[in-house]
Chains A and B, each alone.
Chain A
Amino acid sequence: MIATTVSGWPTMRGERTAQRIPPWINFPELSSSPQWVSVFHVLNWSPWQVDAVKRILQFQSLRDNWDSYGGHPPSFDVILTASSVVRNITLDDPPKPRIVPVPGGGIQFEWKKGRRELEIEVRPDGSIEYLKIDDGDPIGDGEELESASTGSVESLLSWLIAG
């Protein structure tokens, strides 16, 4: 699947090729002011969103080999993308995810509701994959989500809730 792109944005290597949406796109406060200390503006966030992003931010303190199996800590870009997954859930009282680091440097969200389970993984390269599980059986092999946009994430949650 081709990732959603911002065309023409130069990469760190100076290429001018298409690439994924930069993770700070969902947090204009991080890129639209000269302030350097990075903060999330949480005035309109739900308490569960604040708690979830706090948990994600705590993964910054993981060190290499944090799981004794050579695991890597997530990069700040992965942390931002995972935070945008949380930020973009606007449903009223949505099911709350379990949020765990993944050994390669990713972050995984896990939901379970009735017979249905949903996993969303922000991978180390910033791409997002999801897997639906119904009655213990995976549906497909895991699909790439085009972005962490509200519509993308909430359509998956709607499937979960409908189970």
Chain B
Amino acid sequence: MGRGATERDPTLPDFTNPPVIETVLSLQFAPLEKFGIPHFGLYWEKIRSEYPRTELHPPLASVTEELEPSLVHKSIGLRIALGFPSGLPVRCWFIGESGNRLLQVQDGRFIYNWRKIKGDEVYPRYESIREKFKEEWIRYCAFLQEENLGTPEVTQCEVTYVNHIEYNSGWEGYGELGKVIACWKGSYSGTFLPSPEKVNLNVRHLLPGKEGRLHISLEPVLRSRDAVEVLQLNLTARGAPNSSSVEDVFRWLDLGRSWVVRGFTDFTTENMHKLWRREV
């Protein structure tokens, strides 16, 4: 086994005050034939003491990174299934007592979220989020076994970091986006255009060895919690694990997380790294 789950990779960039406000770890798997609505309730019984609140949401479409040219679509990219990924039109949220932790369950998806709710919480770090997710995934798989629902065949692993970069903190507006984004030159070839009013960017990178992709998106958003407009920078790494074993699934998540952290560091400027107090 490589570096332990609770041990931080010392070669990864590290920030004392990163702008991350949410971390999402997600697994997609082939829908389980016998999984039905009552199983949401049966599963809740197992976790209710830790996740006492629930909400119902529409299911997420399944998203698969296509890394080989498709004979049908003649393209390489994302495959997003239309409609519900399985027969169940439900994604159930199980919300932790503190309001910082969430488990999202639908047939074919298992997602763990950690988020800031007040804004001043200390980011608990990937290692601890990963451990909690691993615990929950093992518990979920045990539940599926108990109910004779089968073993999930994991098809895609996903790591997302949501960062909120506040205005007037190292930059004053979109005319100064180059102070935030390392690849943004911030000037035009002529003098006609004024500074942009707003900017939306989507970039994607292939992970070597056909391991998956890193998606980077940057866009202005209005945050509901405090009605503040911020620049949202999302990094999502997605790809297929070698197998559905816990070891392979978490090895892929570690790889994805490494790409998210290194990608975030490369994508943003040293100017901002100083504000976020980069240590490594």
* Chain A residues positioned under 8 Å from B164 (CB to CB): 37
Partner of A34, one of B60, B200, B220, B224: B60
* Chain A residues positioned under 8 Å from B219 (CB to CB): 41, 43
Is A136's CB within 8 Å of the partner chain B? no
Partner of B221, one of A8, A32, A40, A54: A40
Q: Do A37 and B26 form a contact, CB below 8 Å, given A42-B221, A43-B219, A57-B227?
A: no
When C-beta atoms are compared, the residue in chain B nearest to A27 turns out to be B224
* Chain A residues positioned under 8 Å from B56 (CB to CB): 10, 12
Taking CB atoms and an 8 Å cut-off, the chain A residues in 26-40 that contact chain B are 31-40
Q: Do A39 and B102 form a contact, CB below 8 Å, given A10-B90, A32-B61, A34-B26?
A: no
Q: Do A36 and B102 form a contact, CB below 8 Å, given A10-B56, A50-B229, A54-B227?
A: yes
Which applies to chain B's interface (DSSP): helix, strand, loop or mixed? strand
* Chain A residues positioned under 8 Å from B89 (CB to CB): 8-10
* Chain A residues positioned under 8 Å from B226 (CB to CB): 57
When C-beta atoms are compared, the residue in chain B nearest to A79 turns out to be B224
Partner of A36, one of B24, B198, B200, B232: B24
Task: Count chain A residues whose beta carbon lies closer than 8 angstroms to a beta carbon of B.
Answer: 26
**Could you tell me the distance in whole angstroms from the C-beta of B154 to the nearest C-beta in chain A?**
16
Is B265's CB within 8 Å of the partner chain A? no
* Chain A residues positioned under 8 Å from B225 (CB to CB): 37-38
Q: Do A43 and B224 form a contact, CB below 8 Å, given A34-B160, A35-B24, A36-B115?
A: no
* Chain B residues positioned under 8 Å from A39 (CB to CB): 221-224, 232
Taking CB atoms and an 8 Å cut-off, the chain A residues in 55-69 that contact chain B are 55, 57-58, 60
Which of A38, A39, A43 is the most central at the interface, judged by chain B CB atoms within 10 Å of its CB?
A: A39
* Chain B residues positioned under 8 Å from A79 (CB to CB): 224
* B229 contacts A37, C-beta separation under 8 Å: no
Is A53's CB within 8 Å of the partner chain B? yes
Is B21's CB within 8 Å of the partner chain A? yes
Instruction: Give the docked Cα–Cα distance between A39 and B227 (Å).
Output: 9
Q: Do A36 and B227 form a contact, CB below 8 Å, given A41-B219, A42-B221?
A: no
* Chain A residues positioned under 8 Å from B61 (CB to CB): 32
**Could you tell me the distance in whole angstroms from the C-beta of B14 to the nearest C-beta in chain A?**
23
* A43 contacts B200, C-beta separation under 8 Å: yes
**Could you tell me the distance in whole angstroms from the C-beta of A61 to the nearest C-beta in chain B?**
9
Instruction: Give the docked Cα–Cα distance between A162 and B4 (Å).
Output: 70
Q: Do A37 and B162 form a contact, CB below 8 Å, given A31-B58, A57-B227?
A: yes
* B222 contacts A42, C-beta separation under 8 Å: yes
Instruction: Give the docked Cα–Cα distance between A62 and B245 (Å).
Output: 49
Instruction: Give the docked Cα–Cα distance between A142 and B225 (Å).
Output: 32
Instruction: Give the docked Cα–Cα distance between A38 and B26 (Å).
Output: 18
Is B155's CB within 8 Å of the partner chain A? no
* Chain B residues positioned under 8 Å from A57 (CB to CB): 222, 224, 226-227
Q: Do A34 and B223 form a contact, CB below 8 Å, given A9-B89, A43-B200, A50-B229?
A: no
When C-beta atoms are compared, the residue in chain B nearest to A43 turns out to be B200
When C-beta atoms are compared, the residue in chain B nearest to A45 turns out to be B222
12 pairs from A and B in contact (CB 8 Å cutoff): A10-B37, A31-B57, A35-B113, A36-B24, A36-B115, A37-B116, A42-B220, A43-B198, A55-B227, A57-B226, A57-B227, A79-B224
10 interchain residue pairs of minimum CB distance: A57-B227, A39-B221, A38-B224, A36-B113, A40-B222, A54-B227, A37-B22, A34-B111, A43-B200, A42-B222
Chain B interface residues toward A at CB < 8 A: 21-22, 24, 26, 37, 55-58, 60-61, 89-90, 102, 104, 109, 111, 113, 115-116, 158, 160, 162, 164, 198, 200, 219-227, 229, 232, 234
